[in-house]
Each structure stands twice: as structure tokens, then as C-alpha cells.
């Protein structure tokens, strides 16, 4: 049976009760903490930065998955390693020398991830697929939580899965944006290994039950 990993996005948490929401994730069936870092340049929004990440590092007891939506991410690789990131994803569209950036992330002891915008083809990653630990396929335009899922994502997940198999790679496929109980199973069936869910989890009345439900419907 396939164990699809669930990564609640802390962007949708209640920052006035951050510790409570982090503990909820610790106590739930979730697998990863998904942390969105936005610079107001690469994406039209600013999220949160280092002081908040220090709090997350202090309380999170599971894998910390940092998604950098920033230009020139090489400047901050060491910083995020010291803030406890286990997976560090940079955007394909923000890197001039992606191979070098991936090596620099791994040299700091982190798993190296590449996120791609909805307009970026997965075929562009084939030459580097054996160097990438996680590909994060954006299923919304990055910058905001609570947007609607882009349906063409299923096709991208399948295409990427074929590339991974063809190259005998062990890369994980993560899908980020608009994930709910309506699309989670189909994404897992298409080949997704990690599903990020922000608003769907945090807007729910029973957040832990919502995570457990996502876990259940994606165990295929
Ligand atoms: C979007 C972020 C996502 C976002 C997901 O730019 O990268 O991780 O937090 O939130 P939902 O699940 O609400 O689309
Ligand atoms: Zn994200």
C-alpha cells in the first residue's frame, strides 16, 4: 500500500496561536511541516521570515519542508539549514545555475527540492532528475493560500512520474496548492508522494480529523 505523505502548510495557521497549531500538526497523522517563504519579488506577497521559523524549529517534531518563493535563493541556503530545514526547495524559475544550487543545499545536509510554477514543464527537469530529492509541482500560482486547484496538474504529475521511472530516480513528487479531499486521491493515483494542504486543513472544524481523512483517502 502506498503511504502518501501529508504536509499541512503553516501559512494557513493562526499566527496568534502558532504554538497550538504546531502542536496540532505534531499530534496529528501529518508527516511534514510545509513552510512557505515569500519575498514580495518572486511572488506578489510576503509571508514570514526567520523569527517565525525559529519558533517553528523549536516546536516542530516532524520533517520541516521549506518552500522558498524568493529570487536568488543561494543567499539563504546556510540560514535555512541553521533554522532546521530538512527539505529545502528553490524555484526552477529563480535559479540561473540550478545544479550548483542543488549541490549547495545537499552540502548543508538537507534534501534538495525544486518547485515549478504552473507554466513550467516537468520535461525541463529530466537532465537533473537524479540530483533532485523532491519536485514540488505548483497546482496554483504561488503567492497565496486558498486558491483553486489547477486541473492540468494531474497530467504533470503523471509525466513527471514517467521521467522518474525512466531515469531510475528516487525523487519524490510533491503537489502544492488547492489540495482537498476532492483531488487528493486522484493525485496519489497519478503518482504524487507528498500533498501540501493549507486552507483545507486549517479552515476545517476538526483539523486533526481532516488530516487523518486525507491520509486515509490517499492510502491506495
Ligand atoms: C502557495 C503556497 C502553498 C499554500 C497552500 O504559494 O506555496 O504552500 O500555502 O495553501 P492552500 O492549500 O490553501 O492552497
Ligand atoms: Zn508552498
pLDDT tens profile 164-176: 999 999 999 999 9
Ligand 1 pocket mutation pick from 177, 183, 202 by most atoms within 8 angstroms of CB? 177
Beta strands per DSSP E along the chain: 5-8, 32-38, 63-69, 87-91, 111-116, 134-138, 172-176, 194-197
Question: In this prediction, what percent of the chain has a pLDDT beyond 90?
Answer: 99
ipTM: 0.99
Please report which ligand is nearest the Cα atom of 10. Answer: 1
Determine the distance separating the centroid of ligand 1 and the alpha carbon of 175, expressed in angstroms.
10
Rounded to the nearest angstrom, the gap between the alpha carbon of residue 110 and the centroid of all alpha carbons in its chain is 14
Q: Which whole-number Å values give the CA distances from 172 to 144, 155, 183, in the listed order?
A: 23, 16, 18
Q: What is the pLDDT of residues 4-60, one digit of tens each?
A: 999 999 999 999 999 999 999 999 999 999 999 999 999 999 999 999 999 999 999
Closest Cα partner for 23 from 10, 5, 4?
10
Distance CA 137, CA 174 (A): 6
Which atom of ligand 1 is least distant from the CA of 178?
A: 14
How is residue 150 annotated by DSSP? P
pLDDT of residue 184: 98
Domains (ranges, CATH) in the chain?
A: 5-217 (3.20.20.70)
Distance CA 154, CA 139 (A): 9
CB-CB contact of 187 with 150 (8 Å): no
What number is the average pLDDT over the span 94-100? 98
Amino acid at each position: 500500500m502506498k503511504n502518501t505523505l501529508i504536509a499541512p502548510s503553516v501559512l494557513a495557521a493562526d499566527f496568534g496561536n502558532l504554538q497550538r497549531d504546531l502542536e496540532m500538526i505534531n499530534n496529528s497523522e501529518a508527516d511534514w511541516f510545509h513552510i512557505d517563504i515569500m519575498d514580495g519579488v518572486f511572488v506578489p506577497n510576503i509571508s514570514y521570515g526567520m523569527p517565525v521559523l525559529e519558533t517553528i524549529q523549536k516546536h516542530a517534531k516532524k520533517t520541516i519542508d521549506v518552500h522558498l518563493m524568493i529570487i536568488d535563493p543561494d543567499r539563504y541556503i546556510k540560514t535555512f539549514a541553521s533554522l532546521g530545514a530538512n527539505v529545502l526547495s528553490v524555484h526552477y524559475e529563480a535559479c540561473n545555475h540550478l545544479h550548483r544550487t542543488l549541490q549547495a543545499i545537499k552540502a548543508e545536509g538537507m534534501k534538495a527540492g525544486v518547485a515549478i510554477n504552473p507554466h513550467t514543464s516537468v520535461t525541463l527537469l529530466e537532465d537533473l532528475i537524479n540530483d533532485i530529492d523532491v519536485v514540488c509541482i505548483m497546482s496554483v500560482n504561488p503567492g497565496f493560500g486558498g486558491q483553486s486547484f489547477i486541473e492540468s496538474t494531474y497530467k504533470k504529475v503523471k509525466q513527471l512520474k514517467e521521467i522518474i521511472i525512466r531515469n531510475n530516480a528516487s525523487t519524490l513528487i510533491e503537489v502544492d496548492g488547492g489540495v482537498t479531499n476532492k483531488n487528493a486521491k486522484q493525485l496519489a493515483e497519478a503518482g504524487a508522494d507528498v500533498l501540501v494542504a493549507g486552507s483545507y486543513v486549517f479552515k476545517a472544524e476538526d483539523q486533526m480529523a481532516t488530516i487523518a481523512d486525507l491520509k486515509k483517502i490517499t492510502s491506495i
